[in-house]
């Protein structure tokens, strides 16, 4: 089966985000960008399935600014076979992304779409679920284990207080959680070879999808600075304070 893996270019996870002075968003000028870590896990899982002989081809797709090409090259260097870049200016909301992915899925007919459970920039945690709704395929979200036998996909899910195992029939949607795997480093020779792997350039119009924004961002602000704590003399004072704050009866 083919596996489709969407990857997003986001602010690098080591960079401390700075909110723009006018509060319209996070300042991305001259800061390091890299592949969304959950997507890296998705790419790794797809490549492992290919190495096991389950997948025949791993296709990566990215939606965003032209620079997203670098993110696709990283995925190709890790071991994906080919890439599709859908260039779109500005922010594309999860619904727009899901519609585009649906169109790509219609064209490519993958047996599995593996997505990150969320992107670390907007933390939406919606795209996989929306894609499942649009395609009508089964979904196994927050995966910590994925096993494929024929057209059955067994997904172990991270849920509150434990794990849940679901069985899906391919084609299906999987979203990755942190514990699914530890992504490999692309080897240096493979980084050099990635340049010659196929990368198709598309636009939302090619798929007839309208990605106009439906939401308006009113304000983006820094998290409040943590104020200094207070010292209590003994347990009695602690209990009294908690009661005064209304957090203990």
Partner 1 sequence: MALDPETFDALIETIRRFVTERLRPLEAQVGEEDELPAALIEEMRQLGLFGLSIPEDYGGLGLSMVEELKIAFEFGRTSPAMRSAFGTNVGIGSQGLVMSGTPEQKEKWLPRIATGEIITSFALTEPDVGSDSAAVKLRAVRDGNVWKLSGTKRYITNADKASLFTVMARTGGAGAHGVSAFLVPADLPGLTIGIPERKMGQQGAHVCDVNFDDVPVPAENMLGAEGDGFKVAMRVLDRGRLHISGVCVGVAERLIADSVAYAVERKQFGKPIAEHQLIQAMIADSKTEALAARAFVLDVAAKKDAGENTTMEAAAVKLFASEMVGRVADRAVQIFGGAGYIADYGIERFYRDVRLFRIYEGTTQIQQLVVARETIRRGG
* Angle at the Cα of 207 from the Cα atoms of 202 and 213, rounded to 5 degrees: 95
User: Cβ of residue 65: shortest distance to partner 1, in angstroms?
Assistant: 15
User: Cβ of residue 123: shortest distance to partner 1, in angstroms?
Assistant: 23
Positions touching partner 1 (CB under 8 A) are 34, 70, 73-74, 77, 184-192, 194-195
Rounded to the nearest 10°, the torsion over CA 155, 159, 161, 165 is -20
User: Cβ of residue 119: shortest distance to partner 1, in angstroms?
Assistant: 19
Give the pair of three-digit tokens for residue 92. Answer: 């594309």
Chain centroid offset of residue 98 CA: 12
Q: Which is nearer to partner 1, 74 or 135 (CB)?
A: 74
Q: Which is nearer to partner 1, 185 or 212 (CB)?
A: 185
Q: Rounded distance, CA 230 to CA 201, Å?
A: 58
Q: Is beta strand 152-159 parallel, antiparallel or unpaired with respect to 172-176?
A: unpaired
User: Cβ of residue 228: shortest distance to partner 1, in angstroms?
Assistant: 18
Q: Which is nearer to partner 1, 7 or 168 (CB)?
A: 7
Q: Which is nearer to partner 1, 62 or 175 (CB)?
A: 62
User: Cβ of residue 31: shortest distance to partner 1, in angstroms?
Assistant: 14
Q: Which is nearer to partner 1, 41 or 146 (CB)?
A: 41
Q: Rounded distance, CA 141 to CA 47, Å?
A: 19
Q: Which H or E element spans position 240?
A: helix 235-245
Q: Which is nearer to partner 1, 192 or 238 (CB)?
A: 192
User: Cβ of residue 116: shortest distance to partner 1, in angstroms?
Assistant: 18
User: Cβ of residue 194: shortest distance to partner 1, in angstroms?
Assistant: 8
Q: What is the DSSP string of 127-169?
A: HHHHHHHHHT-EEEEEEEEEEEETTEEEEEEEETTEEEEEEEE
Q: Which is nearer to partner 1, 79 or 96 (CB)?
A: 79
Tell me which long-range contacts 19-26 makes (C-beta under 8 A, separation of at least 24). Answer: 19/220, 19/221, 19/222, 20/220, 23/219, 23/220, 23/221, 24/217, 24/220, 25/217, 25/220, 26/121, 26/220
Nearest to residue 6, comparing CAs of 54, 40, 49? Answer: 40
């Amino acid at each position: 089966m083919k596996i489709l893996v969407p990857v997003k270019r986001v602010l690098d996870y080591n960079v401390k985000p700075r909110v723009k002075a006018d509060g319209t968003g996070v300042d991305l000028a001259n800061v390091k960008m890299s592949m969304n870590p959950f997507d890296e896990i998705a790419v790794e899982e797809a490549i492992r399935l290919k190495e096991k002989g389950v997948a025949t081809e791993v296709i990566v797709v990215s939606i965003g600014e032209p620079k997203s090409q670098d993110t696709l090259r990283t995925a190709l260097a890790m071991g994906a076979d080919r890439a599709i870049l859908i260039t779109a200016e500005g922010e594309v909301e999860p619904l727009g992304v899901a519609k585009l992915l649906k169109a790509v899925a219609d064209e490519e007919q993958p047996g599995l779409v593996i997505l990150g459970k969320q992107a670390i920039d907007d933390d939406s945690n919606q795209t996989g679920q929306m894609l499942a709704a649009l395609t009508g395929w089964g979904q196994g979200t927050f995966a910590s284990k994925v096993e494929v036998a024929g057209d059955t996909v067994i997904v172990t899910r991270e849920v509150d207080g434990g794990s849940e195992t679901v069985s899906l029939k391919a084609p299906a949607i999987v979203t990755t959680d942190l514990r699914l795997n530890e992504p490999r480093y692309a080897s240096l020779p493979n980084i050099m070879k990635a340049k010659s792997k196929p990368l198709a350039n598309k636009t939302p119009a090619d798929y007839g999808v309208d990605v106009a924004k439906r939401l308006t961002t009113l304000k983006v602000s820094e998290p409040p600075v943590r104020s200094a704590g207070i010292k209590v003399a003994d347990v009695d004072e602690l209990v009294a304070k908690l009661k005064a704050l209304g957090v203990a009866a």
